[in-house]
Amino acid sequence: GAVVSQHPSWVICKSGTSVKIECRSLDFQATTMFWYRQFPKQSLMLMATSNEGSKATYEQGVEKDKFLINHASLTLSTLTVTSAHPEDSSFYICSASSAVGDYGYTFGSGTRLTVV
Amino acid sequence: KNQVEQSPQSLIILEGKNCTLQCNYTVSPFSNLRWYKQDTGRGPVSLTIMTFSENTKSNGRYTATLDADTKQSSLHITASQLSDSASYICVVRGATNKLIFGTGTLLAVQP
């Protein structure tokens, strides 16, 4: 079955530093990848949608200069949280979708980011 | 407005018992509906996916139903196990690639 690998599973960083989170589709080509943010006891909130080879589309209220998304290949997308602050601490989850097959919307295992 | 509402918000049951979670949606047009299980600190894992023409679908002890006319879905868990303790999320896809997430039902199975 479709597998999406997300790395790291957790990260602690100092305020002001940048953190990169990777999302890989292991056995299928992901034409579209999605990045979500989830606060405790809340549902997933879509941050941005990225299609391979093109710029990401950000949801309203999400700062594109703070959350840099790169989708350079059909199997890898990265989210970089730049100049992280404590309020950026959250659970970040990616998902991947293929234009063919029925993999659609397989989620990664998530990354717990804590900014201290 | 496209919305997905779930009930109850939380549920506590004893191990071995059955339970049913509800999902009502107003997403239109409708493409498909998925139920996901999300363990604490993990990403959601798909349980079932149903399209407009499907009324019921099972995956082991999980059985999902869909009534596209009333825009309601349910997830029935049979013979609950401690490992079923998790958040269950109803997710509806409309005309676009975006998913509309429900607020989830937090299930706790106690011994």
A72-109 as b/e: b if 16+ CB within 10 A = eebbbbbbebeebeeebbbbbbbbbbbeeeebbbbbbb
Burial of residue B72 (number of CB atoms within 10 Å: 0-12, 13-18, 19+): middle
Q: Look at residue B66 in the predicted model and tell me its pLDDT.
A: 96
C-alpha distances out from residue B86 to A3, A91, B89, Å: 21, 16, 10
Quick one: pLDDT at residue B39? 95
The residues with which A12 forms a beta bridge, in sequence order, are A114
Residues in chain B with pLDDT values less than 70:
97
CB count, 10 Å around CB of A47? 23
Task: Determine, for residues A107 and B93 on separate chains, whether the beta-carbon distance falls below 8 Å.
Answer: no
Confidence of residue A30 (pLDDT cuts 50, 70, 90): confident
Q: Which has the closest alpha carbon to A109: B44, B46, B87?
A: B44
A interface residues, B as partner, C-beta within 8 Å: 4, 6, 32, 34, 41-44, 46, 49, 91, 93, 95, 97, 102, 105-110, 112
| pLDDT (tens digit per residue) in A35-60 | 999 998 888 999 999 988 888 999 99
At residue A25, the pLDDT reads 92
What is the model's pLDDT at position B10?
A: 97
CA of B67 vs chain A CAs: smallest distance (Å): 22
The residue among A43, A89, A97 with the most chain B CBs within 10 A of its CB, best to mutate, is A43
Cβ-contact A111, A6 below 8 angstroms? yes
User: If you ran DSSP here, which 8-state letter would residue B73 be given?
Assistant: E
CB atoms within 10 A of CB B44: 30
Which residues make Cβ contacts (< 8 Å) with residue A83, sequence separation at least 6?
A16, A17, A18, A66
Both structure tokens of A68 = 């840099």
Residue A1 pLDDT exceeds 80 = no
pLDDT score recorded for residue B78: 98
Retrieve residue A37's tokens: 């943010």
Q: Do B41 and A105 touch (CB under 8 A)?
A: no
- The set of residues, in sequence order, having a beta carbon less than 8 Å from that of B46 and lying 6+ positions away, is A105, A106, B34, B35, B36
* Cross-chain CB nearest to A110 (options B43, B99, B102): B43
Asked whether the beta carbons of residue A6 and residue B103 sit closer than 8 angstroms, the reply is no
What pLDDT digit, counting tens, does each position of A71-105 carry?
888 899 999 999 999 999 999 999 998 876 554 58
Residue pairs spanning A and B at CB distance below 8 A: 41
